[in-house]
Structure 1
Amino acid sequence: MNLQVILGNFALILFVLMVLTGVVWFFDVFYLAKQRRAAADRALAEYDSRAAKASADGIKLDNHGRRAQIEADILRQPTWVEYSGSFFPVIALVFFLRSFLYEPFKIPSSSMVPTLLVGDLILVNKFTYGIRLPVINQKIIQINDPQRGDVMVFKYPKDMSQDYIKRVIGVPGDKITYENKRLTVNGVAVKYTPMDDYLNDERLVYNKQFQENLSGVSHRILNDDSKPTYGRDAVEAFPGRDENCTYRYEGFTCTVPAGNYFMMGDNRDNSADSRYWGFVPDKNIVGKAFFVWMNFSSLRRIGGIQ
């Protein structure tokens, strides 16, 4: 694992910090704190002995204030222990929440426009597709499988340090055909309803917009009439391409192999997805995107993801 992968894996960084602060916290609770208590008891016993002798000699001491100060000074945690003990429960809680329940992501590109915009801060459900061990992403408990139409976050097959987000178009065993910018799944043509053109804020041009109904999941997609159905020169020699896919001038057909998924962006002509770099293995799944909780450029963006 190289440095770039480590730095790009926030879960790994959190895990290391949790372990380090946790070790210090446990070491303090079960060893250092007892050592400090024993030292404080010895110091207090010595002080009480001196105070008793002074009292016998007729000398009056401020026993309570001085005694309490001695005890507090000895029992005080070292700074490095105090900070570790303060950070450990916070780091552990964040690690648990983002590893097993919900993880936040920020949308960096326009591949999922109009469903998701650049700058959208989203929440991803980490358990709906099964419980996975953090860092290594190994599934240990099966719950649900991704369904057609789901918006899913996954590790980019060519670079596991990168998180991608696309829509599930095909599940294992599906036969996906994409011709003339229209989908057919298992021989059934996907339904499209024309909508008003969509203004592309980045390029200040209008794109064709349609309501796509994929296995009962209705969502908007965009088409750019100035671009072909797909970029033939951009298709890579991805694993399983020759056995499962046939590319033609007007489109392509792919059969999704077992344990894999076919992903596409809703901004169909501006998305690098399974058409070009191949299928997404189940082991790469991160979770299901379900909620936009903030976009600093538009507060109206808050809401569920369809």
Structure 2
Amino acid sequence: MNWLLYIICFYWLPFVGMYKLFEKAGEPGWAALVPFYNAFVVVKIVGAPKWWVAAMLIPVVHFFIIAGMLIEFNKSFGQYKFIDNAAAIILPYIYYPYLMTKNPEYVHQAWAVQNDLRKRFKAAAKSDSKSEMRRLEKENPFPKKSKVREWSESIIFAVFAAHFIRMFLIEAYTIPTPSMEGSLLVGDFLFVSKVHYGSRMPMTPLAFPLIHNMLPFSGGESYSKAVKWGYSRAPRIQNVERYDPVVFNYPEDDTAVGGLEADGSLFPYELQYHNQLKAVPPKDRKALRQKLLVRFADRMVYRPVDKRTHYIKRCVGIPGDKIEVKNGVLYVNDKEAEDIKGVQYEYQLIGQKVNTLEVPTLEENYRVTFYKDPRNPNNVVRSIAYMHPDVAAQMVKDLPGVDQIERRLKPKGYTPGTFPYNGEKYPWNIDHYGPITIPKKGTTINLSMDNIELYTRLIAAYEGNDLKIENGKIYINGEATTTYTPKLDYYWMMGDNRNNSADSRSWGFVPEDHIVGKPLFVWLSLKNGSLKNGGVRWDRLFMGASGR
């Protein structure tokens, strides 16, 4: 149904208001009402090459082809103004009925005439025939554009092109936190393909171009919810595979606290509504929820899926997989997970000279990350670092005064903030987690009061059902039930810095409609995230982003 709506909006509606203009160009008016055939007729009217019609069927490319068609169609009817072209591209189903009321005459096949003039100008320039060039300039039926208009159109086209390339093809991202070290480092700039997993169609199409979810100066939303579309994707090149790094929208960012402080400074969007709720026992959440809603009533932001914060983690579990962490070791389907060379764990450095270690040198040479106090990032704890087991063994050999490096594990038992946030039923933490099975589209889940907390957000928030629990019974959309069949596939994401990452162990499953794209390679890497304070990591330029 979503694809049908998409075809109607972008392949049919731009042409339906042209039926009288078709007749003026000597074509049957009914042709404007026939999907795809109307595009073939427009190409004929403007004199463009036939391959335009085929190119129009390619997702994303079709935006540019249709825009070109409409501009050339305008010229064919003597409409050359910038405002006419902008209106034809932005609101064709309003502009063309309006144009028909002006009763314009069909002038010529604009694209064919321009193309012929171009060839003749080129031939005259090659033969250095100034008289021929002057004659062609006099015969040119198209008005000469001012420098202001040329620059304006160039800038607008560049923004238009960049916006759609970013939305559907490829986008640049920056790694801001150490949760994926040592595969991806703070200060890495990545290109991420939107095509590999299928370009996701926009769910909130009315938005400022090239801005994700928040305006840079006011702190308000950069999009409008006036028009909302359901989830759909273009055909994919590949499925999300186990151990792929993946960019996705943070699932719990549907409800966040944000905005501007009284002094005009930006209130931290990282203060998530759900993060506060899951940090308290289940019995206290209802009271805290009411308190938060009252306290932040004017700052609550309810974001649609495609406008939620971008995260990057490694997909360690695909739909149907069983996930478990035992003594800090990840198991997938009861087998120890693939060893990712970039994965880091938390270690304790033991020895007489540990406190004299030069942290920046070690971080650079060994690709380790030392623990920093989150309240004071300048306070580095030299005795705690994140590294791969092979690196730990090598450092013991290399560093005099470091006698031993031991893996640090949380003792068994519940840690607040661990999904599904109930320490009595699920006494889990990041080093002792599960087992848990990832939901799969079309595979029925048996529900009970013992496991409903695992699937509450899946049923209600991610798939939009009305979920109620009354008198020990589960009601979905008003009907008592003991089963649920997911409509989407789900994934399990974990950071490569396993003991320093907020990931699926904190917020659970990631729905397929939240998947954004596949990281391709690092195109720039800055030490300390700054060119001025750190410089370029030249050895990481154009390095693949898989970390495997």
The interval holding the TM-score normalised by the smaller chain is 0.5 to 0.7
Distance 1:229 1:110 in 2: 25
How does 1:1-306 map onto structure 2 within 5 Å?
A: 29=75, 32-33=79-80, 75=143, 77=145, 81-134=149-202, 138-159=232-253, 160=305, 161=307, 162-190=309-337, 199-201=368-370, 203=372, 204=380, 205=382, 206-210=385-389, 225=408, 232-237=415-420, 246-248=426-428, 250-258=432-440, 259-297=489-527, 298-302=537-541, 303-305=543-545, 306=547
Alpha carbons of structure 1 residues 226 and 183: separation in structure 2 relative to 1, 3 Å: closer
User: SS state of the match for residue 516, structure 2?
Assistant: strand
User: SS state of the match for residue 131, structure 1?
Assistant: coil
Distance 1:141 1:25 in 2: 29
One-letter code aligned to 1:255? T
Alpha carbons of structure 1 residues 26 and 254: separation in structure 2 relative to 1, 3 Å: farther
Alpha carbons of structure 1 residues 92 and 230: separation in structure 2 relative to 1, 3 Å: farther
Alpha carbons of structure 1 residues 294 and 229: separation in structure 2 relative to 1, 3 Å: farther
Distance 1:165 1:231 in 2: 26
- Give a deviation string over 1:83-121, Cα, whole Å, max 9, x none: 431123322332343233321101111100000111100
Distance 2:171 2:163 in 1: 10
Distance 2:180 2:412 in 1: 17
Residues 147 and 168 in structure 1, CA contact (< 8 A), matched pair in contact too? yes
| 1:287 Cα deviation after fit | 0.7
Superposition TM-score, scaled by structure 1 size: 0.65
| 1:128 Cα deviation after fit | 1.0
Unaligned ranges ≥5, structure 2 = 1-63, 82-103, 108-141, 205-230, 254-304, 348-365, 373-379, 391-405, 441-488, 528-536
| 1:224 Cα deviation after fit | 6.5
- Give a deviation string over 1:24-75, Cα, whole Å, max 9, x none: 977985655379xx9xxxxxxxxxxxxxxxxxxxxxxxxxxxxxxxxxxx94
Q: Which has the larger share of strand? A: 1
Residues 229 and 269 in structure 1, CA contact (< 8 A), matched pair in contact too? no
Alpha carbons of structure 1 residues 274 and 131: separation in structure 2 relative to 1, 3 Å: same
One-letter code aligned to 2:369? N
Distance 1:98 1:209 in 2: 35
Residues 197 and 239 in structure 2, CA contact (< 8 A), matched pair in contact too? yes
Superposition TM-score, scaled by structure 2 size: 0.38
Give aligned pairs, total: 250
One-letter code aligned to 1:88? I
One-letter code aligned to 2:368? L
Distance 1:207 1:229 in 2: 20
Residues 106 and 122 in structure 1, CA contact (< 8 A), matched pair in contact too? yes
Alpha carbons of structure 1 residues 78 and 273: separation in structure 2 relative to 1, 3 Å: same
Residues 25 and 85 in structure 1, CA contact (< 8 A), matched pair in contact too? no
In the alignment, what sits opposite 1:11?
none
Alpha carbons of structure 1 residues 202 and 246: separation in structure 2 relative to 1, 3 Å: closer
Distance 2:174 2:386 in 1: 24
User: SS state of the match for residue 252, structure 2?
Assistant: coil
One-letter code aligned to 1:189? E
Alpha carbons of structure 1 residues 99 and 187: separation in structure 2 relative to 1, 3 Å: same
User: SS state of the match for residue 233, structure 2?
Assistant: strand
Unaligned ranges ≥5, structure 1 = 1-17, 39-73, 212-222
One-letter code aligned to 2:519? A
Shifted more, 91-100 versus 171-180: the winner is 91-100
Shifted more, 257-266 versus 223-232: the winner is 223-232
Residues 319 and 438 in structure 2, CA contact (< 8 A), matched pair in contact too? yes
| 1:209 Cα deviation after fit | 1.3
Distance 2:526 2:165 in 1: 24
User: SS state of the match for residue 133, structure 1?
Assistant: coil
Distance 2:71 2:411 in 1: 59
Distance 2:322 2:176 in 1: 30
Structure with bigger RCO (C-alpha 8 Å, 6+ apart):
1
Distance 1:138 1:251 in 2: 33
Residues 371 and 386 in structure 2, CA contact (< 8 A), matched pair in contact too? no
In the alignment, what sits opposite 2:214?
none
| 1:156 Cα deviation after fit | 0.7
Residues 175 and 186 in structure 2, CA contact (< 8 A), matched pair in contact too? yes
| 1:143 Cα deviation after fit | 3.4
| 1:76 Cα deviation after fit | 5.2
| 1:274 Cα deviation after fit | 0.5
Alpha carbons of structure 1 residues 25 and 90: separation in structure 2 relative to 1, 3 Å: farther
One-letter code aligned to 1:209? H
| 1:191 Cα deviation after fit | 5.5
| 1:157 Cα deviation after fit | 0.7
Distance 2:514 2:413 in 1: 25
Alpha carbons of structure 1 residues 27 and 191: separation in structure 2 relative to 1, 3 Å: closer
User: SS state of the match for residue 88, structure 1?
Assistant: helix
Distance 2:513 2:148 in 1: 39
One-letter code aligned to 1:165? I
Distance 1:285 1:198 in 2: 29
Alpha carbons of structure 1 residues 140 and 190: separation in structure 2 relative to 1, 3 Å: closer
Residues 208 and 225 in structure 1, CA contact (< 8 A), matched pair in contact too? no
